[in-house]
Structure 1
Amino acid sequence: MSSSPSPSARVGRLAVVAVGLCWLAVLFDGLDMFIYGSVLPHMLAEKALGLTPDKAGDLGSYATFGMLVGALTAGTVADRIGRRKLMVACVALFSLASALCATAGSVAVFGLGRTLAGIGLGGLLPTAISMVSDYAPRGRGALTIGMLMTAHHAGGILSAYVALWVVEPLGWRAAFWFCVLPLLFVPVLVRFLPESLSFLVAKGRTDQARALAGRYEVELPAAPAEKQAAGDRWNALANLFRGGEWTQTLLYWLASFGGLLLVYGVATWLPTLMRSEGYNLGSALTFVVLFNLGGIVGMLVAGRASDRFGAPRISAIWFALTAAGVFLLSVHMPPALTFTVVFLTGVFLNSAQTMIYATVSIGSRPENRATAVGWTSGMGRFGAVFGPWLGGQLLAANNGDWGFTAFALAGLSSMVFIGIAALRGSKRTASTGSGQELVGAH
């Protein structure tokens, strides 16, 4: 292990390059994720591809099902071939899939495009989180992950403006052609994105990792205590359940299920639900902007608070506040108050889920980190699949207000699960005397 550099050296050039490139990749991820919800009111209004609310909910679930597949496989694949290669492949996949959506002549082809895009989107996010965790300054892991996730919401804001400025004059297909542009970013990733240091160390490529760490003035991760047997792809997953870890793992999975049901249900249906409340398309898209601006603020605030008080505790409080905000959206309020509630809901909702990832990532061994984050995200994707479908069914039955109530209940359930996990984590920390550097480690 290399000698510890000074605090300023810990934020070296490699950290800036790696986090910056990951930030841009996640920006495109957010654009592709939110673009469907942003153009959906327009597609429903003109009955594009024969779309109805229940079919639209199904299409939203196709994308999140693809994200489930991508997230479940990303950790295992990244731990085997490297996070750099997987990130490049994911960006290329969801960009090309957007071209399929743009040229689709039927709901089936459009659904195939969204499913393929979802695989790329689901694989990218946990891989990027694992990548930046390698380069985060000591004691600032949750904050660094929060900064990365601001890109996801910046992409959501961009999607609203694409829908506002591109769809009206050129049609909904132009929005998906716009989402093909990240393909131009692939050569940049290939050229400049470094490989994960913990991946190199875990694979025994210590000399290469040491040279890279020395050149860019970052710490070299410790070698894993035990090397996984060659070809044992399930060993990393089994480690999540060994030594009494299974209870904590299941609690995080359940919390992630409710959190992602809430995140993707709201992301898919917020503009349409607000339009059903009497707002015009421009105002409905303003809610998307405010929601994602809140998400950016929330990531920065939650990251700093989690580094100080523990990610599980902050996540539980944030989920409780989210449930209150989502429920209030079903109540008719003056426009200014509605705008405020949407912004605050964005502050708490998005960062509550991300702090679950932060807890798992920071508390995992380097060689097992991508698998732990990927499976936590992946199991939560079952909720992400269910959320858009549920919103579509409620809207088709003219029960849009119940959509907000259902999403609020999902937030309360996540608060309970992550709260129990926080209490268990506190007891284990007290009994083992573990340091604060593992925020809420399980």
Structure 2
Amino acid sequence: MTGHSVKNFLDESKFNRFHFGILLWSLLIISFEGYDLVVYGSVVPFLTEEWALSPIQAGVIGSYGLFGMMFGSILLSLLSDRFGRKSIIIVSVIFFSVFTTISGFATEPQLFSWCRFLAGVGFGGTLPTIISLLTEYIPKSSKNRAITIALCGNQVGGILAPLLGVLVFEALGWRPILWFAALPLLLVPILIKALPESPEYLISKGKLDTLDRTLRKIDTNYKNQLIVKNESVEEASSERMPLLSLFKSKLGLSTLLFCIVYFMGLLMIYGLNTWLPKLMHSAGYPIISSLGFAIFLNGGALLGTILIGVIADRKGSKNVVIALYVLGAVCLALLGFKSNIFFLYLLIAIAGVCTMGNQSLLNAFVSQYYPTNVRSTGIGLANGVGRLGGMLGPTLGGVLLSLNVSIELCFLAFALPGVLAALCLFFVKKNTDVKKEVEIVNARLKVN
């Protein structure tokens, strides 16, 4: 039993109850993470009033969580490639649940900011590790669809946060929607039993009995299907410095371009999630209606993400992602101009698909781009650097509002990064070409 033969079996297997179980748990985890992540955008109007925060101060507080995500994405992804996916997922869930709950008891901005930072560490570790686990276990024919469906959890959480706010703000205030974040802690014992461990990790640690029990859940006769192809070029899983490997074997340029794409994409996403209700409120809409725009933003992304995942499985991911970034930029630019309410909601829903939904598809594309031994590290680095853009988004919105910049220019500022992201992704080499070059280098290393 080798990593390459197991990978071949998992790629060619048929989607069944085992895969559905992983997908369901992944969707649930990402939903809780998405809720905790965007809930700040729902409470920020109340925090600015209660703590007398300026727009810039509110934007900086929003960036604390994203700063923590940068650390979590890079650090926990490295640990995931070294120590396995399952334990890092559990640690991440505990982190973001505990500290988001504590933030609901904060009475001043400093404690709230530190809670957002520490919760952000958990946010950062969750996404790349979940994506890596799904990439390893889901059949090749369903990978894009499964990953994008799991990442719809971001939109589920993004809808739930403002929706819950609409229901409880007037009666109970803003704190209860932060206390709701404690719910995932009750599921941790179940997650420990339900989630499988990375097959590559189990092989490297000699835990073949555990892997055998897991693979039998997919097919009791799996051993008869462990056909080894190109065994001589099997990926080297013993790489001690996976971060450096991202810049070797012709991966360097693509890695740099992915970092820029993530930077631009997350700038749009977190800028909008933080400031869309406030921008619409500044444009003359009541606060409850402004929260409705946030629901449409995430709702559009939720429905559209499933569709674009199906299209990507059939047509390929790269061109779909590029086209969606361009379309999203156009929609965001148009949001700055007055129009009838139906067209406005339509633009917001499409913008949700082209930003948050497209980010899910981008994650699926990148997860399949890198070799197994550096997959989580590659996704984690791109997400980590991207968090710098995510931090800039809320701060940028705060600066623009404090300078009384027109709504048209505010939305244009969030649209331009989409064009830059599409341009960078255009120059990324085809992953099939890169993987062939990586396999050749690995083969030479094994010979030497």
TM-score, normalised by the number of residues in structure 2: 0.89
CA distance in 2, matches of 1:127, 1:410: 26
Q: Judging changes above 3 Å, is the alpha-carbon distance between structure 1 residues 69 and 320 closer, same or farther for their aligned structure 2 residues?
A: same
Paired position in structure 1 for 2:115 = 113
Cα deviation 1:173-228 (Å, max 9, x = unaligned): 11111122222122221232221223223444344323321233378798953242
Counterpart of 2:25 (choices 15, 21, 24) is 21
Compared CA separation, residues 214 and 431, structure 1 to 2 (3 A): closer
What is the match of residue 439 of structure 1?
none
Instruction: Letter of the 1:270 partner, please give it.
Output: L
Q: Deviations over 1:39-66 (max 9, x none)?
A: 222333xx12232211110011111101
Residue equivalent to 2:444 = none
**Contact 2:251–2:434, Cα closer than 8 Å, also in 1:** no
Amino acid at match of 1:395: L
Match of residue 420, structure 2, among 410, 413, 426 = 413
Residue number in structure 1 paired with 2:235: 225
Secondary structure of 1:103's partner?
A: coil
CA contact (8 A) 2:370 2:435 kept: no
1:80 corresponds to: 82
For structure 2, the 5+ residue unaligned runs are 440-448
Structure 2: how far apart are the matches of 1:304 and 1:202? Answer: 33
Q: Quick one: structure 1 residues 347 and 221, their matched pair in 2 at CA, closer, same or farther if it must change by over 3 Å?
A: farther
Please tell me the residue identity of whatever aligns with 2:35: L
Among candidates 256, 260, 267, match of residue 254 of structure 1? 260
- Residue of structure 2 equivalent to 1:55: 57
Letter in 2 for 1:356: L
Match of 1:437 in 2: none
Q: How does 1:196-345 map to 2 (within 5 A)?
A: 196-217=198-219, 224-228=234-238, 232=240, 235-345=241-351
Q: After alignment, is 330-339 or 185-194 more displaced?
A: 185-194
Q: Quote the Cα distance in structure 1 between the aligned partners of 2:333 and 2:226.
A: 46
Q: Output the amino acid matched with 1:247.
A: L
Q: How does 1:152-171 map to 2 (within 5 A)?
A: 152-171=154-173
Instruction: Classify the secondary structure of the residue corresponding to 1:160.
Output: helix
**Is 1:388 paired with 2:398?**
no
Cα distance in 2 for partners of 1:32, 1:133 equals 24
Give the count of matched residue pairs. 425
Tell me the amino acid that sits aligned with residue 200 of structure 1.
Answer: L
Kept in 1: contact 2:10–2:138 (CA 8 A): no
Q: Give the distance between the partners of 1:360 and 1:132, measured in 2 at CA.
A: 13
Quick check: 1:96 aligned with 2:104? no
Structure 2: distance between partners of 1:431 and 1:368: 15
- Equivalent residue letter for 1:425: K
Q: Which residue of 1 aligns with 2:443?
A: none
Distance 1:2 1:322 in 2: 39
Structure 1 window deviating more from structure 2 (353-362 vs 157-166): it is 353-362
Amino acid at match of 2:338: H
1:10 aligned to 2:14? Answer: yes
- Mapped partners of 2:278, 2:348: distance in 1: 14
Q: Find the aligned partners of 1:181 and 1:151 in 2 and give their Cα distance.
A: 15
Per-residue deviation at 1:427?
Answer: 9.4
> 1:315 and 1:64 mapped to 2: Cα distance?
23
User: Is the Cα–Cα contact under 8 Å of residues 11 and 138 in structure 2 kept in the other structure?
Assistant: no
Q: Verify the 8 A CA contact 2:12 2:139 in the aligned structure 1.
A: no
- SS state of the match for residue 275, structure 1? helix
Q: What does residue 440 of structure 1 align with?
A: none
Contact persistence 1:94–1:116 (CA under 8 A): yes
Kindly state the Cα deviation for residue 388 of structure 1 after the two structures are TM-superposed.
Answer: 0.7
In 2, Cα distance between equivalents of 1:49 and 1:59:
12
In structure 1, what is the Cα distance between the partners aligned to 2:6 and 2:200? 13
Which is further off, 359-368 or 334-343? 359-368
Deviation string for 1:352-371 (max 9, x for gaps)? Answer: 22222212211222222111
Aligned residues: CA RMSD: 2.5
Q: Tell me the CA shift for residue 87 of structure 1.
A: 0.9
Aligned partner of 1:131 among 127, 130, 133: 133
How far residue 136 of structure 1 moved from its aligned partner, in angstroms, is 1.5
Equivalent position amino acid for 2:414 in 1? F
Aligned with 1:36 (options 35, 40, 49): 40
Alignment partner of 2:41: what SS?
A: helix
User: Any idea what SS the aligned residue of 2:430 has?
Assistant: helix
Task: Give deviations 1:381-405, integer Å, cap 9, x for gaps.
Answer: 1111111111111111122522211
**Aligned-residue offset at 1:7:** 9.7
Distance across 2 between alignment mates of 1:220 and 1:203: 19
Q: Distance in 1 between matches of 2:226 and 2:243?
A: 24
Cα distance between partner residues in 2 of 1:2 and 1:244:
26
2:68 aligns with 66
CA distance in 1: counterparts of 2:117 and 2:340, whole angstroms = 38
For structure 1, which segment, 74-83 or 7-16, has the greater mean C-alpha deviation from structure 2 after superposition?
A: 7-16
Identity %: 32
CA contact (8 A) 1:100 1:109 kept: no
Normalising to structure 1: TM-score of the pair? 0.90
